[in-house]
Structure 1
Amino acid sequence: MVLLPVVDLDPELAALRPLGGFFVLRTDGAAALPTLAEAYGTAPPDGHRDPLAARVEVVAERLRTPESRVAASLAQQGLAARLWSAALGCAVLYGRLPDLGPRLLRWDPLGSAPDDLWLTDVRPLPGEPDLVAGVLHGHLEPLGETLTARYGLAAGLLWGNAGSALAGAARELDRWARANGRRDVADRTRTLTDALFTHPLLRTTGTRTGTAFRRRSCCLYYRVPGGGVCGDCCFTRPPRSSPNAASG
């Protein structure tokens, strides 16, 4: 087992900045933005525009897709990538996690990609980094339940998105580590990612070979006008099938 060093979390989480935009957590301002807890609600939050619906609309408009379920899938995958990246980056570089609870993370649903996230209070969690509790159960489960209830997206598709997002975050962190002579970071990334993919909700999402990943489902990007299949898609070419194809 690769032991993680424990480094104090600085108030700005500055160690994440060199990793790129998917990993960075902002820690200043954004008090007027909705929290992710509000976004995960199955009904629109009182007193606010529904942030999740707003994000799906933004993605649909930018990708020029009339299918809300396609936009919802891609919005979920983008947010999953941000959450996995920030949490994995903290776990590897600091050896600990801040509290990433949905009530502490604020989100700009109208922002650009990658999604803008603000952590309103950097509170170190005790013990070893637990990304299953912090990301999988804390965020991806409630987000997935809401998207299934609202847009009819299959759980298998959404967990496939989550597995793809995790593999992508790990691959980018590994790439950065090797480019910067940080074999220790690459080793820690691999150890944590291997452990995460043993979880029942992620274990069957795809096949891994090194940092490569081939998922067993499709995010529906091929249904975007001008879209095709992603590099880790279960398809080798866009399918010609019904709107509900590859949803599981």
Structure 2
Amino acid sequence: MLRVAARPPRPLPTLADAYADRAPDGPDPLAARVRKVAAGTGAPEERVAASVAHLGLAARLAAVALGCAALHGAVPDLAPGLLRWDPEATAPDDLWLTDVRPRPADLIGEVLLEGHLLPLARVLAARHRLAPGLLRGNAASAVAGAAGQLDRWARDRGRPDVARRTATAAERLFAHPYLSGTGTFTGPAFRRRSCCLYYRVPAGGVCGDCCFTRPPRSSPRAPSG
């Protein structure tokens, strides 16, 4: 769900604020989310919490963009300045779109990848020493996960039109240079070439699309893809 309101019920930063460079003593919604994830997961390193936080926000944004493309054949303008974000909340209470401006579904790469996942990755890579390949893999995993959920929803409800639009939007995203080469995407199935580091969270294990089949034992660092 994406909430729509010109004025959310309380003051919230925009995602443009989250992606911006800022003074150390200024409000920092992205740092707040990383701290929240670290506290909630017990992540042993800040970079692990940052990767998990990145994957969660990427999945949230991918679900919104792909869901609209699949169900309505269009995507909303999700310009970071239009999206208010509560870094202390989780879906569906974290994102508020302040103005609805439909855009053609074939612009989903511009809206999702260039508008959000690229600038988000740049900030997190600079702050937390996260490899670009890891962050690209997180973005790809988020897109594939959203596509898989939509495909199952469409097939369970006899909506082949939604399944087709889901596949078209996902294929368009995986053809984008940012996601190209991040893994093997066949249908809604995906196997990434990097690891999000979730296995380093206590009792975390590996994700279903991870490049590992079991948690690594010896090296604290996962391949970056």
Q: Shorter-chain-normalised TM-score: which range? A: over 0.9
Identify the residue that residue 9 of structure 1 maps to in structure 2.
none
- Matched-pair contact (CA < 8 Å) for 1:109–1:115: no
Task: Output the amino acid matched with 1:216.
Answer: R
Which of 19, 32, 38 does residue 11 from structure 2 map onto? Answer: 32
Deviation at 1:113, TM superposition (A): 5.2
The structure with the largest helix share of the pair is 2
Q: Structure 2 matches for 1:59-78, cutoff 5 A?
A: 59-78=37-56
The structure with the largest strand share of the pair is 2
Identify the residue that residue 97 of structure 1 maps to in structure 2.
75
Seq. identity, % = 65
What do the CA deviations read for 1:107-139 (whole angstroms, capped 9, x no partner)? 1101135672110111223x4441111010000
How far apart, in 2, do the equivalents of 1:44 and 1:113 lie? 28
Structure 1 unaligned residues grouped into runs of 5+: 1-23
What do the CA deviations read for 1:199-235 (whole angstroms, capped 9, x no partner)? 2221211112321111000000000011110011000
Query: Could you say if the C-alpha distance between residues 30 and 41 of structure 1 is closer, same or farther in structure 2, counting changes exceeding 3 Å?
Result: farther
Identify the residue that residue 190 of structure 2 maps to in structure 1.
213
Q: Which moved more, 1:34-43 or 1:88-97?
A: 88-97
How far apart, in 2, do the equivalents of 1:70 and 1:84 lie? 21
Identify the residue that residue 132 of structure 2 maps to in structure 1.
155
Other structure's SS at 1:130 match = helix
Count of aligned residue pairs for this structure pair? 223
Task: Output the amino acid matched with 2:146.
Answer: A
Other structure's SS at 1:103 match = helix
Identify the residue that residue 147 of structure 2 maps to in structure 1.
170
How far apart, in 1, do the equivalents of 2:146 and 2:37 lie? 21
What do the CA deviations read for 1:129-182 (whole angstroms, capped 9, x no partner)? 411110100001111000011001010000000000000000000011011110
How far apart, in 2, do the equivalents of 1:31 and 1:103 lie? 16
Q: Structure 2 matches for 1:67-146, cutoff 5 A?
A: 67-112=45-90, 116-125=94-103, 127-146=104-123
- Matched-pair contact (CA < 8 Å) for 1:57–1:71: yes
How far apart, in 2, do the equivalents of 1:57 and 1:37 lie? 19
Deviation at 1:53, TM superposition (A): 0.3
Query: Could you say if the C-alpha distance between residues 115 and 220 of structure 1 is closer, same or farther in structure 2, counting changes exceeding 3 Å?
Result: farther
Other structure's SS at 2:75 match = coil
- Matched-pair contact (CA < 8 Å) for 1:84–1:165: yes
What do the CA deviations read for 1:4-45 (whole angstroms, capped 9, x no partner)? xxxxxxxxxxxxxxxxxxxx1001324501100000112259
Deviation at 1:236, TM superposition (A): 0.4
Identify the residue that residue 212 of structure 2 maps to in structure 1.
235
Query: Could you say if the C-alpha distance between residues 44 and 173 of structure 1 is closer, same or farther in structure 2, counting changes exceeding 3 Å?
Result: farther
Structure 2 unaligned residues grouped into runs of 5+: none
What's the TM-score once normalised by structure 2's chain length? 0.93
How far apart, in 2, do the equivalents of 1:191 and 1:79 lie? 23
Query: Could you say if the C-alpha distance between residues 58 and 34 of structure 1 is closer, same or farther in structure 2, counting changes exceeding 3 Å?
Result: same
What's the TM-score once normalised by structure 1's chain length? 0.85
